[in-house]
Amino acid sequence: MSADAAGLGATLRAWRDRMSPAAVGLPSGRARRAQGLRREELAELTGISVDYVVRLEQGRATTPSAQVLSALARALQLTTTERDHLYRMAGLVPPGDAEISDHIPPGVHRVLNRLGEVAVAVFAADWKLIWWNRSWAALIGDPSSTPPALRNFARDSFPINGDAPRLSHWPVNVLAGDALAAAIVSDLRRATGRFPNNSRLSTLIRTLRAGNPRFAELWASGRVEAHRESHKIIDHPAVGPIEVDFDVLTDGDAELKIVILTAAPGSEDETKLQLAVLAGV
């Protein structure tokens, strides 16, 4: 076993041991034997097998992919410095400024975990869904069954060949849909200025331009603007239609998009939103 492989495994184990279950929304429990996360819990958070987590920690798997490293960095809530160290231990170049990051900084995670039962999700700069809480899944539907590469809000907004939405499990009707469509396209164009050489972003735009005439038309307008808010009606199967606000907050240079779903305070929609969350959590 090489020194580098042992270093990677030992470091991953140390990061897993220090990770509080509560920090990722798991109950601590008195019967826990592991100091931090169990291997099974880390596997579930990252979408990789328990066996692969074991092989990584034992130094028997020495060449994890960039996708696996990105998932580990998110699940273990690594700082940017720690994330870069993880990539280097695996023999890969850390994501640079030209790369769209799927990493959520620990401080952002702490804020998200303090939002309680508020439905919230985090998207990358290209509108790839990278994190959501249980309330979001209860309100929209759990997107975990959708392959990660297809969890993209822009793809859902501009379907190709009649594809059904993948991020919502029941109908979501957009109020002022034309404005939202234009905002998404202009936001993607803005992202190309921040990440001009990113292959994932350029592939997404090329695919949407070729496969969706409406996207191609809006792209040709050249508009550049951030998408900040929208209003939608969720046709929830348990409580009926709920009118909600989608507010988008952006985090720093990584251009992470934190989307929060709320209803007007004291309204019938707020009551139905709370019932939907309770029914699904």
Same domain, 77 and 132: no
The pLDDT, as a whole number, for residue 152 is 96
Q: Does the pLDDT at position 70 exceed 60?
A: yes
**DSSP letter, residue 100:** P
Residue 278, φ and ψ in degrees, nearest 5? -65, -35
Under 8 Å between Cβ of 127 and 256: no
Over the stretch 72-95, which tens digit does the pLDDT of each residue have? 998 999 887 888 889 989 988 777
In a domain, 177, yes or no: yes
Domain count, the chain: 2
The pLDDT, as a whole number, for residue 34 is 62
Same domain, 120 and 253: yes
Higher pLDDT pick, 241 / 226: 241
CATH number at residue 141: 3.30.450.180
Q: Does the pLDDT at position 4 exceed 60?
A: no
Residue finishing a domain among 89, 123, 144: 89
Q: Does the pLDDT at position 2 exceed 50?
A: no
What is the distance between the alpha carbons of residues 203 and 99, in angstroms, rounded to a whole number? 13
Share above pLDDT 90 across residues of the chain, in percent, rounded to a whole number: 54
Same domain, 188 and 249: yes
The pLDDT, as a whole number, for residue 31 is 62
- Compute the mean pLDDT over every residue in the chain, rounded to the nearest whole number: 88
Under 8 Å between Cβ of 136 and 281: no
- Which residues, other chains included, contact 66 with Cβ-Cβ below 8 Å and sequence gap of 6+? 87, 92, 95
Residue 165: other Cβ atoms inside 10 A: 18
The pLDDT, as a whole number, for residue 176 is 85
State the pLDDT confidence band at 1, using cuts at 50, 70 and 90.
very low
The pLDDT, as a whole number, for residue 182 is 93
Q: Give just the sign of the alpha carbon dihedral 218, 222, 223, 229.
A: positive
Same domain, 82 and 113: no
Q: Does the pLDDT at position 241 exceed 70?
A: yes
Q: Which of 176, 161, 171, 271 is nearest to 231 (CA)?
A: 176
Which structural domain range is residue 23 located in? Answer: 3-89
The pLDDT, as a whole number, for residue 244 is 97
The pLDDT, as a whole number, for residue 227 is 80
State the pLDDT confidence band at 161, using cuts at 50, 70 and 90.
confident
Same domain, 130 and 221: yes
Under 8 Å between Cβ of 62 and 4: yes
Q: Does the pLDDT at position 13 exceed 80?
A: yes
Number of H helices, E strands in the chain: 12, 6
Q: Which residue has the tokens 């996207």?
A: 215
Same domain, 139 and 248: yes
Average pLDDT of the segment spanning 129-135: 95
Over the stretch 25-47, which tens digit does the pLDDT of each residue have? 776 665 666 678 999 999 999 99
In a domain, 97, yes or no: no
Share above pLDDT 70 across residues of the chain, in percent, rounded to a whole number: 93
- Which ranges in 27-133 belong to alpha helices (H)? 39-46, 50-57, 66-75, 80-89, 106-113
Average pLDDT of the segment spanning 4-20: 82
- Which residues, other chains included, contact 206 with Cβ-Cβ below 8 Å and sequence gap of 6+? none
pTM: 0.70
Helix H or strand E encompassing 174: strand 172-175
Q: Which of 177, 188, 43, 46 is nearest to 128 (CA)?
A: 188
In a domain, 94, yes or no: no
Over the stretch 183-211, which tens digit does the pLDDT of each residue have? 999 999 988 888 888 899 999 999 999 99
In a domain, 138, yes or no: yes
